[in-house]
Structure 1
């Protein structure tokens, strides 16, 4: 989330959205907002050094990103609460609300749409909804759940197929998908338009003052042709969105889902309107007033958009708020709630995870979602931790600058526990890879001490050591790392990882180091994922290709507590 990522993401987002591909801007805008927040936090040590506080700021930034993308500040706060954050204290909600409000006010001041409003698809319906329309609303909710379930499955299968190929050519792939999209979009005038323009037209009510660009207000037998084109566009857009989301370009899934749902929702709305006009005296339509249009197809487009979005993301409350903030159609909150509820229930039959959770699972990111917490409380941390014998540790004495350089060069670990000695491993602290590398580089540079490779290094107090001829790394070491007793419940450890944003936890008993757990270890235990191992460069030891990215683990034989019988016992 640095400046280079912010620059490339912003430029790529402008090009990708304007290209006409079936992708959205909402997800990338959340990333852009978090990049801005991360850059602004850099000068403040109280934020950058506090992982929990940093996550609170990023949650508020995500709310601002959704607020700008949709013009929905309240929906942005709820989106961050429901979808993004696994720890969301009360004060974070207030801070997210302030950020979203400031973002919305700034958006209105800049007035990018030249309308003076932040509502993107404002609609003004002169008619309400009737009780008989609950039946098509239920149908739209079920279709939305099916759409989301099949979209997720198809998209994940395509992503896995991409990763199984021997050669990866992302630029060629993007160019081919763009060409295919152009060839499919152009013959269909609904797909030819930008998604935002299409959604606005599908939401609009037919009246004498409405400019019917897409021919949505036709009546009679011509309406069947419009319905067929709408359904064809929805089917083609479904496949294009499944292929496009996951390319190496900034791409969101919210706006395509809204557009697809609006397409099949408008089609159903036209069919219901034709049915009512053909049989105006039927029992279902007894409440309709004569000579006044009874059914509003644009309302069905809104319901379809909400159901499709709910099926793809499995969000609930935030979708309802975003939809009425987008359209201003507060009167239709109950139909939207019905459709979103049914879409989630129907989608959950095929899998509990939404599109975001499915990609997190595919990439094996250690996201500790409290909603997936199924860990039994009687499992102790010692049953799942990596024991001290399998750890790559640094002793307080017996090292030189050269030996530590070799340790950093030959490992990919992000940190090392520091102990007194191997026979009695009293925990002295923890030093990260970056701190160790910087300290060694700083000490051997000609502009500073210019120490040789044979210079002794120590991590504990040495009363007889010459401070000029030796290197004391205690100032670079965290002498008070997060430490717990190994007899503590694993559920408590999980809660600490979730609420404090920890990367690792050390376990000690009466000061003696017993083991370690990383965030990736905890995620693997929760998901039952065995670590993949590869042969190390030296000897017959094995290196953990996932946990090594967090903290150093030198895996030996079956002593690793995350493998073999210990893992089976813990699960």
Structure 2
């Protein structure tokens, strides 16, 4: 139903508007039947006068208008190509088209440099907890980590340059050295974690956590000021080095996505055509996210698929190509820096020389089941901890909470050699074949009776790591969950692999091992570790294709793609039995971010939209005429809402359009200051008035969206939800024969869907709040939300 009572589907009407806009013809609805142009500012800005209206930007924590942004970009390109002629014009076109590629290449280089720097710094700080390098008379190699200090030695015991703290203090007894090193380990761990938390609290609170839930929300069309700013980038990078070095069960892989997006956002400020278009900015951020995963895993293709599968709301073919280029440049840059001096992009990158056997599909399937169980239990436990944390006495003391968790972690980590190591070093040892390990410092390749102890240590580390990761992910520090999940899955997988190896060693002639070749190792425990890691990662994130590709690029073994696929598939099925949300979606839900997944095909409540929309009687509506500058100021002061439908008059309520508070305030401010200086009694109108004198009246039609998306008030809620999620809408107006009947906003829809799954209110302490005490949740009479009641839980300085 159109707003003038003409029966026509809304999407068809909107398509015709876009087509008229592309043809350069008028798209307005005017009283006298002719297109008006009395407020045009030139050919390039004609489209602002009618249709979507002009915009002055978006407020913090509001949704963007995807249709408006892409319409604006098409008009900009049309103007550029129509005005630019000759050699100069061609050069302008080439420069305009090359801007995005320059930014993507710069982002890839920056991501690679920062990833290499974070790797080196975190490894050195992590090793500093156990000792320092002292090879010269003056100790001039103090800045070397243990790996570089002992470069060239096959075994750590042969390295004389690396000095443990117990030996540095000349402690003679083994017990005394153990106690001293335990104390140093604990003190350094607490100091690093506390410093990371202090940086976050003092300089950029958006630098906490992994940032992936927020990135998903931003790419879905939400505006978060300062989330990708310079202070956030600096704090995230430094805090990540400290947090990883502290030994907490967290990873840097997820946060590297946030780091890469921050780089892209800063570079885009150099390009007005990108920086001023929110839709195009999100395309670049999608590509930057791929670069983050590329440098995290040394997996460019996996990064592209991660962005496509996990993050991006809108991912056209051109964005895939841009993501590919950005991820490739980032990987090449990281390879050039070669931070580990091994030629590998990541420390835990391994290769396998043997294949797998058919009977191993059974333990691989078991690992898939265990991965799904781990993912389901981890999400439930982590969410319970997060809810408890809000109401506990630690709620207002994030640094003390970080210190407490770090003390517990350090006390439990040090006695277990698998837990004491850096996560990346641990994962490498779990993935590696025993034949390639020159110094088995973990005793992971022991044989005989010692293997039972290895299995117990592996399983103990997996269980304790699961509990520690559950309470760590959510602290006020930079922290990811990808590498801890891989470590927990790898520990479990390696234990299963060792069990299979022992079984084959004790019963080589069993029927199950009939396909094993003599004198060749039949079982490779490292392959079980990587399959267990893939299963655990799939269980906690619910990703599939990107995980398989990342693991393949890590191992370079095409042979193991099928087992990894099977384990990931089973893990996702088992994980989905616990709940459809992965860890990132769970945190989006917990923080109450208004994210509507356009790939979610689950049905909504089967009710008419009239039962949930804000009815006309509860709406603050503007009439087309009868306003003055002063009366409109008074109206805005009395109404807290961020947008208002505009009707012809209060009697007929024929819908004319929709205008945002931000545009109204801006237009009033510019009209009452130099050079116009209109008096408060100046008449204001939202409809064509042939008798009005432009010098003495204020025409606000250019600031009004005259083609808002409308639906019939008798439509189903499911159709409305599909419109919001597929088109990325901010609001939908409902009419009956052209007369306004109601309004529904994006956050209203989020409230409805959230209420259908969980009747609890405000569990996340996030950005959404009740409009008034005692009212039912959701169904708020506002676009986006009330200015006063809608506040960020992560407000920066």
Q: TM-score range, shorter-chain basis?
A: 0.7 to 0.9
Alignment correspondent of 1:269: 497
Which string of whole-angstrom CA distances, capped at 9 and with x for unpartnered residues, describes residues 50-84 of structure 1?
66555444333322222222121111222222222
Instruction: State the secondary structure of the residue aligned to 2:577.
Output: helix
Question: Is residue 69 from structure 1 mapped to residue 296 from structure 2 by the alignment?
Answer: yes
Which string of whole-angstrom CA distances, capped at 9 and with x for unpartnered residues, describes residues 199-247 of structure 1?
1111111126522121211111112112111111111111111011112
Question: Is residue 219 from structure 1 mapped to residue 450 from structure 2 by the alignment?
Answer: no
Structure ID, larger Rg: 2
Alignment correspondent of 1:122: 349
Q: How does 1:482-561 map to 2 (within 5 A)?
A: 482-488=709-715, 490-529=717-756, 534=770, 536=772, 548=782, 550=784
Which string of whole-angstrom CA distances, capped at 9 and with x for unpartnered residues, describes residues 519-563 of structure 1?
1222333344478885749xx99995967460579xxxxxxxxxx
- 197-206 vs 471-480, which deviates more? 471-480
Alignment correspondent of 2:380: 153
Cα deviation for residue 407 of structure 1 reads 4.7
Which string of whole-angstrom CA distances, capped at 9 and with x for unpartnered residues, describes residues 158-202 of structure 1?
111122347522222122222222222222221122111111111
Cα deviation for residue 254 of structure 1 reads 0.8
Alignment correspondent of 2:240: 13
Which string of whole-angstrom CA distances, capped at 9 and with x for unpartnered residues, describes residues 246-292 of structure 1?
12222211111001111111112112212211222222223333343
Which string of whole-angstrom CA distances, capped at 9 and with x for unpartnered residues, describes residues 471-527 of structure 1?
443333333333344455544443432333221122345543332221122233334
Q: How does 1:307-386 map to 2 (within 5 A)?
A: 307-375=535-603, 381-386=609-614
Q: Distance in 1 between matches of 2:266 and 2:635?
A: 31
State the aligned residue count: 550
Equivalent pair of 2:748/2:778 in contact (CA under 8 Å): no
Q: How does 1:143-542 map to 2 (within 5 A)?
A: 143-165=370-392, 167-207=395-435, 210-375=438-603, 381-409=609-637, 411-445=639-673, 448-450=675-677, 456-462=683-689, 467=694, 470-488=697-715, 490-529=717-756, 534=770, 536=772
Cα deviation for residue 454 of structure 1 reads 5.6
Q: Which runs of 5+ in 1 are unaligned?
A: 554-571
Equivalent pair of 1:497/1:503 in contact (CA under 8 Å): yes
Q: How does 1:559-570 map to 2 (within 5 A)?
A: none
Instruction: State the secondary structure of the residue aligned to 1:284.
Output: helix
Q: Distance in 2 between matches of 1:196 and 1:242?
A: 19
Query: Aligned in 2, Cα 1:26/1:372: closer, same or farther, shift over 3 Å?
Result: same
Q: Distance in 2 between matches of 1:461 and 1:195?
A: 67
Query: Aligned in 2, Cα 1:534/1:312: closer, same or farther, shift over 3 Å?
Result: closer
Equivalent pair of 1:72/1:119 in contact (CA under 8 Å): no
Q: How does 1:64-143 map to 2 (within 5 A)?
A: 64-143=291-370
Which string of whole-angstrom CA distances, capped at 9 and with x for unpartnered residues, describes residues 450-471 of structure 1?
5565655443445555655554
In the superposition, the TM-score normalised over structure 2's length comes to 0.63
Alignment correspondent of 1:563: none
Cα deviation for residue 307 of structure 1 reads 1.0
In the superposition, the TM-score normalised over structure 1's length comes to 0.86
Equivalent pair of 2:752/2:778 in contact (CA under 8 Å): no
Q: Which runs of 5+ in 2 are unaligned?
A: 1-226, 763-768, 788-797
Whose RCO is larger (CA < 8 A, sep 6+)? 2
- 27-36 vs 396-405, which deviates more? 396-405
Q: Distance in 2 between matches of 1:376 and 1:164?
A: 31
Equivalent pair of 1:396/1:458 in contact (CA under 8 Å): yes
Which string of whole-angstrom CA distances, capped at 9 and with x for unpartnered residues, describes residues 292-350 of structure 1?
32211111110110111111111111111111112223221121112112211222222
Instruction: State the secondary structure of the residue aligned to 1:413.
Output: coil
Query: Aligned in 2, Cα 1:29/1:449: closer, same or farther, shift over 3 Å?
Result: farther
Q: Distance in 2 between matches of 1:534 and 1:343?
A: 38
Q: Distance in 1 between matches of 2:721 and 2:321?
A: 26
